[in-house]
Amino acid sequence: MTLTTSTIDDLIRNQNPFAGHIVVRPQQIWGKSFPDVISINAHASNAVFEAVDKVRKGKRETVGITITAEKGLGKSHIISRIRHRLQTEDGSLFIYMSKYDNLNQIKYQFLQTVASSLRAFGSQKLMQWQEIAAALINEAKQWNYTPQQYISMYPSWLSKHSTKAIDHLTEIVLQFKPEITNPYIVKAILWTLSTAHVNFATYWLSGLELTQEQAEAMGLPNPKIENREAEALSTVRQILDITSNYRIPVICFDELDIADAADNGFLAAQVIASLVKDLYNSLKQGVLLLAMYPRTWEDQIKALPEAEAVIDRLVSDQADRQPIKLSFLNSDDIVALVSQWLQDFYEQHQQTPPHPLYPFDETKLRELGKSRPTVRSVLKWCAENFVPIKLITNDPPKKNIHPVKPCFDNELANVEASIDSLMQEEITISTALWMAFNNLIGETVEGVTIESIEEVLVKAVDEGFIDFKIVGNKGKVRIGVSVVQQDGKFIGAALKRLIDYEKFDLTRGCLLRSKNINQGAGLARKNLRTLLEEKGGEWIGLQSQDIKPLLAIYFVCRNIESYELTGEQIVDFIEQNKLAINNPLIREILSDPSGQEPTNLTDDGLPISIPRSVATADNIELKL
């Protein structure tokens, strides 16, 4: 295929690989990442790889590493590089935490992070949970089957032996693991090899309640909500102790430079530093990695009580007990970085440019290096200057692109890639909805003139059940909105609050949920009937296509400083594109209730694609 410069220039006019791609999102940590030049700040990533090697060889049990760098210098790029390198190796587990929604229950949130991270695919293109489950069985039974083989055989095996098969395997594994005090953790891990039960098993492992029917079928006791923070760290330790027998856990904490504080006054970085100290003291083996700004290290970590003991664990492998610092880019780094991005772009579109840096001039790029820029500033410069060298004079004037659009498109692609897991993040969804409704104050939608979006003031026992209240029509309309994806006792408890109009000053309760409520959940079904038939409330089926754009613009807003945008620009983009006022979910919440249960629901708790049977696993007889 013969390619011409004019063809490439047409491509450049229509697509900009740098636009909107200046913030590394969690989806890029786990999935397809930005182009990476491994020579840039290699000293930081190599320190982690060397630490993993030391632990693997028994030279160290646990290593703590902290990376510091100014904003935009590439901390998350380094973590992404570490994740993708470790994914190719059969000997480590990767755990990543970058959201700290409730610093008062950080141990419970960390348990959920561990469970979620281990759902990600490992080196064998399977969930890391499933790799561990296969390793447990192989050690206990002295077999050598692959996870794929177990997954293929589980249906017929369970059909033949029922749940007694899992009970039997659990007992055998525990004979080899007498240090495990919670046998149900082992049982739940073994359930992950069953495609029919894996979602329920990982849901339970994250500390969430199953329906009573499902819990009894799998032989798993439901956790007590009131004890979950106290029990979470013990559960995490046992999970990591089990996994570390077969894989070295590499646990990364990112995005620590937020101003959120716990009730005790400690900021996010300080709370996590204390958690890492506890993990360092209790883990059999592993590598703990933190990334933060230098100012966060100086002002927050060093200000902790017993700071010296904390620092010794956060930088345990550094002789000077100082964090590893990332360097600013030099001219060679910039040329290598831009060249890599352009190579990926042109290969994707099957184009061969006149030279590797086209349409940029190498001299200009090297000139940028003299100012010691950050990765983010270089990519922003490239986005603004990515134009054909020769502009065609009769080209129509190029329409100005809204500054928010590239960032929105980038976040929307990330949301698309991780929507299955995002659909379980109740706080994220409710916050995105709050933001959308807040942009409609003063507007009339579905007969409701929105006046304010308010927090529902409650006592401690009622916290976390009603997310917010929409007030409109001179206070005559007061809609309480509750996003509930959890099962077990939680859905019943949430509905109990949602129907108590007098206590919470509501005229209507609105439940948002994407999956069915089990017919055996007596309290939840009773409260649901009260909501729909007596209280004039509503249950709206939460659909991914409706929430995606609201999540995308919410993530843009959450990264407003990194994207170098203003609040006014984001509001203008929402209004221009009618993201809120024309959103079907927004309009459904405000419209008159149907009084019926939605029909567009699923039974699956976590609808992530699960590896199915493979041909290589045929004809295996697993003898008990």
pLDDT of residue 604: 55
Q: What is the tens place of the pLDDT at every residue in 447-472?
A: 999 999 999 988 878 888 999 999 99
Q: What is the tens place of the pLDDT at every residue in 477-524?
A: 999 999 999 887 889 999 999 999 999 999 999 999 998 988 878 889
pLDDT of residue 399: 63
Mean of the per-residue pLDDT values for the chain?
Answer: 89
Domain ranges of the chain: 120-246, 416-590
Q: What is the tens place of the pLDDT at every residue in 562-598?
A: 888 999 999 999 999 999 999 999 999 999 998 888 8
Q: b/e per residue, 166-203, with b = 16+ CB within 10 A?
A: beebbebbeeebeebeeebbbbbbbbbbbbebbbbbbb
Residue 2 has pLDDT above 70, yes or no: no
What does the DSSP 8-state code read for residue 396? Answer: P
Tokens at 121, concatenated: 């695919």
The number of beta carbons lying within 10 Å of the beta carbon of residue 400 is 6
Residue 616 has pLDDT above 70, yes or no: no
pLDDT of residue 133: 95
Cβ–Cβ < 8 Å for 44, 80:
no
Task: Give me the mean pLDDT over the 123-133 stretch.
Answer: 87
Banded pLDDT at 268 (limits 50, 70, 90) = very high
Smallest Cα–Cα separation from 311: which of 68, 14, 103? 68
What are the Cα distances from residue 423, in Å, to 320, 452, 484, 486? 44, 26, 10, 11
Cβ–Cβ < 8 Å for 539, 491:
no
pLDDT of residue 396: 55
When mean pLDDT is compared across 40-44, 119-123, 163-167, 272-276, the lowest value belongs to 119-123
Longest dimension (CA), the chain: 79
When mean pLDDT is compared across 3-12, 239-248, 467-476, the lowest value belongs to 3-12
Task: Give me the mean pLDDT over the 143-160 stretch.
Answer: 91
> Looking at 278-432, which runs of residues are DSSP E strands?
286-292, 324-325
pLDDT of residue 391: 53
Counting every residue, how long is the chain? 624
Helices (H) and strands (E) in the chain, counts: 27, 11
pTM for the predicted model, two decimal places: 0.84
pLDDT of residue 349: 92
Tokens at 174, concatenated: 């525990």
Residue 159 has pLDDT above 90, yes or no: no
Architecture in CATH of 416-590 = 3-Layer(aba) Sandwich (3.40)
